[in-house]
Amino acid sequence: MISNSHHQSWAWDLYWKADRLQSCVPQNSTGSGDAAVALDAAWMAWFASLPNQTRLLDVGTGNGALAALAVKSARERKVDFTIDAVDAADIDPVQYVKTGGEALQNVRFHPRTLMQKLPFDDGTFTAISGQYALEYAPIDEAVPEILRVLAPRGAFRFLIHAKDSVLMTHSSQQMAQLQMIEDSGLIALMREQIPAIKDMEQRVQHIRASGTLNAHDSHALEAKAREASQSLAIAVARLVRDGTALGAGDIFKAFMESAGWLFEQRHKLDDAAIKALIDEIDLKRAARHQRLSALLAAAHDEDQGRALHDLFARYGRHRHGGGRVAISPAIFGTQQIKLGWWLTGNRS
């Protein structure tokens, strides 16, 4: 996936610095694994339709999921593809992707590269692909750029987020989890209370070990530590209650596990380490919130999908003498799960 500008890509910079290929295709919900396999098969069929010596551009490539499929298709057919892949984020798939990443050695990646400002000559590519990518860019600028670098009779195929897809349902649920965490105020409370609780508990231990203060001082500190722990426990219990009502979910569970681990390890960490870990938890929350917000905003309903189709047709007709473009629902798997819109066509 891709963000609209370099400034906004920080959340994707963070996301792609990991051993992962995919970002949006669901793998765990009922029937979605079947759909994900069928989606890969659909892409493999399209790559198989491309001739020997294809010059492919993959836009919004992320860590190169489609580029890797294209390499696989070319190898299976024993044909030569030249593959370039661009993303607005600061990607480096060859460094970060270890699982199945060998195929990525055959791809030229271009980080910090916007779809609306492609650094290639006119007609460089004979095919262009993109999965959950095009809709994130300024469409009026990206479409003419894509058609500019596409050679005459070149083919393109994009998978576009759809507002009524299973991904939007899943993403909306995740946003609700993130909002619940933010509204709870637990992260701010963790910043304040965990170092304070640790300090009071350590002071109590020191008092008991050294006998420098009387029992009243020790009991007072213990009471303050218990009070702080209870306020933190109440906030956690409230969040657990709200999360249970919401149906919990992967984001909620991961957050609670991280927060619980940090509290348990407080005596093994100095204050700087505690602060750094809380900052990391909060950064991941903020980054995921930004990515999900962009995803939900980028999704197209049927009218928007038709408008995108018409934009391709208009630019193709006015600037390149014509061409073919079609849009259709992308539905996969035994349960007929909708994953988006296919936008497919050729330049004249």
Domains and CATH numbers, the chain: 7-165+299-347 (3.40.50.150), 168-294 (no CATH)
Do residues 236 and 187 touch, judged by C-beta distance below 8 A?
Answer: no
pLDDT at 205: 78
DSSP β-ladder status, 125-131 and 107-110: unpaired
Report the 10 Å Cβ neighbour count for 260.
Answer: 11
Burial class (CB in 10 A: 0-12, 13-18, 19+), 28: exposed
- Residue-level pLDDT at 3: 36
Helix (H, G, I), strand (E, B) or coil at 165: coil
- Name the pairing type of β-strands 337-347 and 150-160: antiparallel
pLDDT reported for residue 216: 61
Task: Give the single-character DSSP code of 84.
Answer: E
CA dihedral sign, ordered 311, 314, 318, 319 = positive
CA distance 129 to 118: 14
pLDDT of residue 30: 45
pTM comes to 0.87
Distance CA 198, CA 106 (A): 52
Q: Tokens 């890509």 appear where?
A: 9
10-residue stretch averages of pLDDT, the chain, 348 residues long: 52 93 64 79 97 98 96 96 97 90 90 97 98 96 96 96 92 88 89 88 76 64 79 79 68 85 91 95 93 95 96 85 89 89 94
110 pairs with which residues across the strands? Answer: 86
Q: How far apart are the first and last CA of the chain?
A: 28
What is the C-alpha to C-alpha distance for residues 335 and 144, in angstroms, rounded to an integer? 37
Residue 264 DSSP SS3 = helix
Residue 128's beta-bridge partner residues?
A: 57, 156
pLDDT for residue 329: 96
| Closest-CA residue to 108 (of 74, 133, 140, 81) | 81
DSSP letters, 199-224, are: HHHHHHHHHHHH--S-HHHHHHHHHH
Q: In the prediction, which pLDDT does 165 show? A: 94
pLDDT at residue 4 in the model: 37
The amino acid at 108: R
Q: Are the C-beta atoms of 37 and 26 separated by less than 8 Å?
A: no
